[in-house]
Amino acid sequence: MAKSFMIAVTGGSGSGKTTLAHALFRRLGPDKCVLVTEDNYYRPRSFYGADALKMGNAELEVTFDFDDPAGKDMEHLRRDIEALKRGESIEQPVYDFPTHDRKPGATKRIDTRPIVIIEGIHVLSDISFFPLFDLTVFVDAPADLRLIRRIRRDQQERARSAESVIQQYLRFVRGAHARFIEPAKHECDIVVVCEAAPPNHDATPDGDSIDRLVAPVWTQLQKEGVV
């Protein structure tokens, strides 16, 4: 198989990068595109030592900085990106957020496609990752919206309280964003602003806002002759 066209989609937690990545995947279709989520490369609890194995989630979240790229096996991710780019399949680890741990022995086979999207907050935190990609996209959003979206997501998907999310944001997320994530904005090929916010707890982004989010990336893919 010819080398795959590699797209990196990054941005802060709650920026809208996952929304953009999934919208691109749906538009391209599973026969032409595969989506890889960086979050599955979080290290297992055992990485943090024996004490971490005994901690409840609340204690773990205020003790360890999960927004530092050191908390992910980025070299494993790099190897998998390189393999997918070469046209090879990978066995991706599977991370379980409710337990803050990898699922023991579980992997997910991912077969490469002509277009590969890698989505995550740290995928471009290390500048040496940039040459792995043919197109790099930074999704930007105001800090207040990012925090609101993170609270809603963690309450709905990870069974967390709003207060625990806010405390983690103040202690770790805010600083990590400035150190590890924001710098990529100035190096990416495209910066997309995602300022749409759901008006209530159950709302999802409407079709028009999704189209506006995808449009700059789709235009670039057309220029590259990819679509």
Q: Hey, which of 59-63, 81-85, 97-101, 164-168 has the most confident mean pLDDT?
A: 81-85
| Region 89-107 average pLDDT | 93
How confident is the prediction for the chain on average, in pLDDT? 91
Q: How far apart are CA 209 and CA 11, in angstroms?
A: 18
Torsional class of 120: left (φ above 0), alpha (ψ -120 to 50), beta (otherwise): left
Please give the domain boundaries of the chain with CATH numbers for all domains.
Answer: 5-211 (3.40.50.300)
Contacts of 208 (CB under 8 A, 6+ apart): none
Q: How far apart are CA 160 and CA 117, in angstroms?
A: 29
Query: In terms of C-beta density within 10 A (0-12 exposed, 13-18 middle, 19 or more buried), how is residue 196 classed?
Result: middle
Task: For 12-64, write each residue's pLDDT tens digit.
Answer: 998 999 999 999 999 999 999 999 999 999 999 999 999 999 998 888 888 99
Percent of the chain with pLDDT over 70: 95
Dihedral sign (CA 142, 22, 65, 75): negative
Task: For 82-91, write each residue's pLDDT tens digit.
Answer: 999 999 999 9
Task: For 129-160, write each residue's pLDDT tens digit.
Answer: 999 999 999 999 999 989 988 898 888 877 78
